[in-house]
């Protein structure tokens, strides 16, 4: 996008009555520049100011146009302002502002007098004159007028008493505007004059020591030209802002009272921000402090924005203003480096067409008017009419004004302001700015331009979309950061409420615990594997039952029942339950056994004690008797019930154990020995009945059984086994014993309540205080 530097004109006002004649400030034109100016650009005029602290030193301030005390309103308008009228009519915003110390002649330059009208009335006059030549457009002129008084905006078309403070806002394409500012349509210069005079009376002015009619506010008059091209259905909007700034003031000199002081403070502050904005722009700062004052917000477009800017620097002669003059000139020097990027404000009046080019994924929201198309302009200006005093480069840009593609290339009509303005100055149209190339018809050129515009519009929309997405991302990141901060804060609060037990631990104290955790993991894995193996063993039990003979099944079942009972008497119900279940896998049809299982399950589930009925000692005999008689005796005791449950089985296997000459003592545990006699049926060698009576057989018991010595267990084993068979039996018995012991251990582990904390975990918890 082509850039355009703010143009500077400096004007020294004449000495007023009562002011001391002073040669310390002089204006040199380029014909005088041969005398040498250290900083001047070639051919530029300059202002020279004697250094108030060292009168031998002279500062020179080169500007393209410098006006001395003899300059006229006409001259300034003709040289610097009039060319900008064409720029306005090309759809560009122009801002002219008068800057200077109080009583330096700003209002005189901008407003002037009846006899010497200033920039404002001349601009309006010129606008009307040029309007008559715009035959291809329907042109409407409107005017608005506001003042910024003590950093508040007021509508000058509203009487002072009723004028509300107006807010400064920004629209969705980033353009700053004053909300609710009235805008008056004007159809003639006279109509404007009437409005303007009325509005000027509303402006805040007051007398100071330096100026009887000192402006106490910044005044901004805007003339807007709306140019409708019905053939192309487009509207160009150009406007010119004419700003009469309040002057910077030295309160020592102005002799201000408290009211004036307050005004002066606001004036100086806003001018100070203006200086900061210019400084920031020159520094290429990422943030320009436009928002620090209403003035800079409103002038934003003229300083680093999309408008064409002209600063008229008003200077007051006299030693007493010398420092202020130097300040003004320094500000002007900085401002002339500010670059703007002027754009043409053009809007397609037709409903938004369907995109037929690569459009961004998120179109503008439905219902909003299509934004104005801002087309950058080239500022490679052509030479414009020379003023009476000197020649200068024109501000009038060669405008690359082109229709949007939706207009249709054939419909495009070059927008020309033929014959407008004195001196033949005119806004150059696209057709004239770009001479036709050989071989290219006007249609070809238009099509090329249309394609270029398409690309540009697409690029801008994509840019907007990108900006929007980045903004969304930024907002999202901000939200997340806030959430994280809130969470951290909440955590901090929680910690501050919780006793800092953990916090008080010295560093490294948890290391052994963490190591234990690792060990624990390994142990738990190992334990799981073992339990799985045991579970498989349990399954094998069932498979084993399938291959046993009916008699062996019953005997094995009886042995498990006896074992289960012993466990239930110990209070180890879980193990007992498991053993009963095992017994069930061998004698699945025994109803009493099923009932027993249900009872114990209920007791385990409800945490109730299960008390099996005690086994009467004499029952052995009785039982033996019963067994020998093959008669089942009903008994109320638990043992009897069990034995009753097993009687049928036992009777079925009596032949195996009924060896004559051998004492057979039946007890719950002795049934285990019974199983031994059937080991051969399960593949274990040997077949003779062995009479054993032992509770949970252990090595000592084995020895006792083997030696036939009763150590008080109430068991007598008398047997006369042949040595080899005895050997085999012992082996079998040992095997089974080992199996039983192992199984018993397994059960103990398997039935460890699943919710019981692992001892290691418990230890760990205790260690860390949980
Ligand atoms: N070029 C000029 N020719 C003749 N008189 C001038 C010229 N410039 C300024 N004056 C006179 O100087 C006085 C102060 O001018 P003016 O009010 O325009 O200053 P100002 O900069 O607007 O001051 P303030 O900032 O206080 O409003 C006025 O009486 C004005 O008529």
- Establish if 497 belongs to a structural domain: no
Of 707, 684, 683, 681, which Cα lies nearest the Cα of 692? 707
Residues 196, 60, single domain; the answer is yes
Tell me, in angstroms, the distance from the centre of ligand 1 to residue 104's CA: 5
- Establish if 409 belongs to a structural domain: yes
* Percent of the chain predicted with pLDDT > 70: 54
Residues 682, 580, single domain; the answer is yes
The confidence band for 432, taking pLDDT boundaries of 50, 70 and 90, is very low
Residues 227, 148, single domain; the answer is yes
Per-residue model confidence as pLDDT tens digits over 58-79: 888 998 889 999 999 999 999 9
Q: What does the chain come to in residues?
A: 770
The confidence band for 212, taking pLDDT boundaries of 50, 70 and 90, is low
Q: Is the CB of 214 under 6 A from ligand 1?
A: yes
Per-residue model confidence as pLDDT tens digits over 557-596: 888 888 888 888 888 888 888 888 888 888 888 888 888 8
- Establish if 516 belongs to a structural domain: no
Helix/strand/coil (H/E/C) assignment for every residue in 718-753 = CCCCCHHHHHHHHHHHHHHHHHHHHHHHHHHHHCCC
- Establish if 475 belongs to a structural domain: yes
Q: Which two tokens stand for residue 580?
A: 């009963």
- Residue 621 pLDDT more than 50? no
Residues 451, 332, single domain; the answer is no
Per-residue model confidence as pLDDT tens digits over 638-669: 444 444 434 333 333 333 333 333 333 333 33
Q: Is the CB of 315 under 6 A from ligand 1?
A: no
- Establish if 225 belongs to a structural domain: yes
Which of 19, 73, 108, 253 should be mutated for ligand 1, with most atoms under 8 A from CB?
108
- ipTM attached to this prediction: 0.98
Beta bridge partners of 5: 339
Tell me, in angstroms, the distance from the centre of ligand 1 to residue 45's CA: 23
* Overall average pLDDT of the 734-760 stretch: 49
- Residue 196 pLDDT more than 70? yes
- Establish if 94 belongs to a structural domain: yes
Per-residue model confidence as pLDDT tens digits over 682-730: 333 333 333 333 333 333 333 333 333 333 333 333 345 556 667 766 7
Ligand 1 atom closest to Cα of residue 245: 25
Of 230, 237, 226, 232, which Cα lies nearest the Cα of 450? 232
- Establish if 520 belongs to a structural domain: no
Q: Which residue has the tokens 């840019």?
A: 463
Tell me, in angstroms, the distance from the centre of ligand 1 to residue 62's CA: 23
Domain count, the chain: 3
Residues 470, 553, single domain; the answer is no
* Overall average pLDDT of the 198-219 stretch: 71
Residues 545, 464, single domain; the answer is no
Domain that holds residue 134: 4-348
Per-residue model confidence as pLDDT tens digits over 81-120: 999 999 999 999 999 999 998 889 999 999 999 999 999 9
Residues 564, 637, single domain; the answer is yes
Q: Which two tokens stand for residue 406?
A: 């939706």
Residues 480, 533, single domain; the answer is no
Cα 440 to Cα 423: distance, rounded to the nearest angstrom: 32
Q: Which positions ≥6 away from 765 have C-beta within 8 Å?
A: 757
Ligand 1 atom closest to Cα of residue 246: 25
Residue with the smallest CA separation from ligand 1 atom 2 is 13
Task: Give the per-residue pLDDT at 36.
Answer: 41
Cα 16 to Cα 236: distance, rounded to the nearest angstrom: 44
Q: Is the CB of 317 under 6 A from ligand 1?
A: no
User: Is residue 435 within 8 Å of residue 398, measured between CB atoms?
Assistant: no
Residues 487, 545, single domain; the answer is no
Any binding-site annotation on 105? yes
Q: Is the CB of 203 under 6 A from ligand 1?
A: no
Q: The domain spanning residue 324 has which CATH number?
A: 3.40.850.10
Residues 403, 339, single domain; the answer is no
Cα 224 to Cα 192: distance, rounded to the nearest angstrom: 13
Q: Which residue, 443, 466, 491, sits at the end of a domain?
A: 491
Of 689, 697, 592, which Cα lies nearest the Cα of 649? 592
Of 294-298, 465-469, 723-727, which has the strongest mean pLDDT? 294-298
Cα 345 to Cα 352: distance, rounded to the nearest angstrom: 17
Q: Which residue has the tokens 């009228």?
A: 85
- Establish if 217 belongs to a structural domain: yes
Residues 183, 55, single domain; the answer is yes
Q: Which two tokens stand for residue 630?
A: 């093959």
The count of other CB atoms within 10 Å of the CB of residue 336 is 21
Torsion, CA 89, CA 90, CA 92, CA 98, rounded to 10:
-40
- Residue 46 pLDDT more than 70? yes
The confidence band for 39, taking pLDDT boundaries of 50, 70 and 90, is very low
Q: Which positions ≥6 away from 628 have C-beta within 8 Å?
A: none
Q: Is the CB of 111 under 6 A from ligand 1?
A: no
Biggest CA–CA distance in the chain, Å, is 160
Task: Give the per-residue pLDDT at 636.
Answer: 40
CA angle centred on 453, ends 223 and 3, rounded to 5°: 55
Residues 158, 246, single domain; the answer is yes
Tell me, in angstroms, the distance from the centre of ligand 1 to residue 387's CA: 24
Q: Which two tokens stand for residue 253?
A: 């000199």
User: Is residue 8 within 8 Å of residue 313, measured between CB atoms?
Assistant: yes
Which of 11, 107, 219 should be mutated for ligand 1, with most atoms under 8 A from CB?
107
- Residue 221 pLDDT more than 90? yes
Q: Is the CB of 248 under 6 A from ligand 1?
A: no
Q: Which residue, 348, 370, 387, sits at the end of a domain?
A: 348
């Amino acid at each position: 996008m082509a850039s355009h530097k703010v143009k500077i004109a400096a004007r020294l006002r004449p000495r007023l009555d009562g002011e001391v004649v002073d040669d310390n400030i002089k204006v040199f034109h380029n014909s005088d520049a041969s005398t040498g100016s250290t900083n001047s650009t070639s051919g530029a005029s300059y202002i020279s100011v004697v250094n108030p602290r060292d009168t031998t030193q002279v500062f020179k301030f080169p500007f393209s146009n410098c006006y001395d005390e003899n300059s006229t309103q006409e001259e300034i308008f003709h040289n610097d302002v009039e060319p900008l009228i064409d720029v306005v009519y090309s759809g560009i915003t122009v801002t002219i502002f008068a800057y200077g110390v109080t009583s330096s002649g700003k209002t005189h330059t901008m407003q002037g007098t009846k006899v010497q009208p200033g920039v404002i009335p001349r601009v309006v006059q010129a606008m009307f004159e040029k309007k008559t030549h715009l035959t291809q457009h329907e042109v409407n002129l409107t005017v608005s007028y506001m003042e910024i008084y003590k950093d508040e905006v007021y509508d000058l078309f509203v009487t002072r008493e009723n004028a509300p403070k107006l807010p400064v806002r920004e629209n969705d394409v980033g353009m700053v505007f004053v909300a609710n500012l009235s805008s008056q349509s004007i159809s003639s210069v006279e109509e404007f004059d009437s409005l303007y005079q009325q509005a000027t009376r509303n402006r805040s002015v007051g007398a100071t020591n330096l100026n009887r009619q000192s402006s106490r506010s910044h005044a901004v008059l805007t003339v807007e030209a709306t140019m409708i091209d019905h053939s192309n259905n487009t509207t160009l909007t150009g406007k010119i802002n004419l700003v009469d700034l309040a002057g910077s003031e030295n309160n020592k000199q102005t002799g201000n009272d408290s009211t004036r002081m307050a005004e002066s403070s606001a004036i100086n502050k806003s001018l100070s921000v203006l200086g900061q904005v210019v400084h920031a722009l020159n520094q290429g700062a990422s943030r320009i402090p436009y928002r620090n004052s209403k003035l800079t917000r409103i002038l934003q477009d003229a300083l680093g924005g999309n408008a064409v800017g002209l600063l008229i620097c008003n200077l007051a002669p006299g030693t007493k203003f010398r420092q202020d003059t130097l300040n003004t000139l320094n500000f002007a020097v900085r401002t002339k480096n500010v670059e703007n990027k002027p754009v043409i404000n053009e809007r397609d009046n037709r409903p938004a067409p369907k995109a037929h080019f690569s459009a961004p994924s998120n179109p503008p929201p439905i219902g909003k008017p299509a934004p104005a198309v801002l087309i950058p302009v080239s500022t490679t200006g052509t030479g414009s009419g020379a003023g009476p005093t000197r020649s200068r480069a024109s501000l009038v840009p060669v405008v690359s004004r082109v229709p949007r593609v939706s207009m249709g290339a054939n419909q495009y009509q070059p927008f020309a302001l033929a014959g407008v303005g004195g001196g033949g100055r005119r806004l150059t149209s696209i057709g004239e700015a770009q001479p036709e190339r050989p071989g290219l018809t006007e249609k070809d050129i238009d099509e090329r331009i249309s394609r270029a515009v398409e690309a540009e519009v697409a690029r801008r929309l994509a840019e907007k979309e990108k900006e929007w997405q980045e903004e969304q991302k930024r907002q999202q990141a901000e939200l997340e950061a806030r959430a994280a901060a809130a969470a951290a804060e909440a955590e901090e609060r929680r910690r501050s409420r919780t006793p800092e037990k953990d916090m008080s631990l010295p560093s490294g104290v948890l290391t052994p615990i963490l190591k234990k955790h690792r060990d624990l993991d390994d142990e738990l894995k190992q334990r799981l594997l073992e339990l799985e193996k045991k579970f498989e063993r349990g399954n094998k039990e069932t498979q084993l039952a399938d291959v046993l003979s009916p008699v062996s099944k019953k005997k094995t079942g009886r042995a498990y029942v006896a074992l289960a009972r012993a466990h239930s008497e110990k209070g180890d119900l879980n193990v007992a339950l498991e053993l009963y279940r095992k017994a069930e896998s061998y004698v699945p049809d025994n109803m009493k056994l099923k009932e027993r299982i249900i009872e114990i399950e209920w007791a385990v589930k409800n945490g109730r004690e299960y008390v099996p009925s005690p086994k009467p000692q004499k029952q052995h005999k009785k039982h033996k008797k019963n067994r020998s008689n093959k008669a089942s005796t009903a008994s109320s005791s638990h043992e009897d019930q069990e034995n009753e449950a097993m009687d049928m089985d036992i009777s079925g296997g009596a032949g195996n154990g009924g060896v004559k000459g051998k004492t057979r003592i039946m007890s719950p545990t002795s049934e285990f020995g019974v199983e031994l006699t059937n080991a051969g049926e399960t593949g274990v060698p040997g077949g003779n009945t062995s009479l054993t009576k032992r509770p949970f057989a252990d090595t000592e018991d084995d020895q006792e059984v083997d030696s036939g010595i009763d150590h008080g267990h109430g068991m007598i084993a008398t047997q006369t086994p042949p040595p080899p068979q005895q050997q085999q039996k012992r082996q079998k018995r040992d095997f089974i014993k080992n199996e039983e012991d192992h199984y018993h251990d397994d059960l103990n582990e398997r039935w460890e309540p699943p919710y019981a904390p692992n001892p290691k975990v418990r230890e760990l918890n205790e260690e860390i205080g949980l």
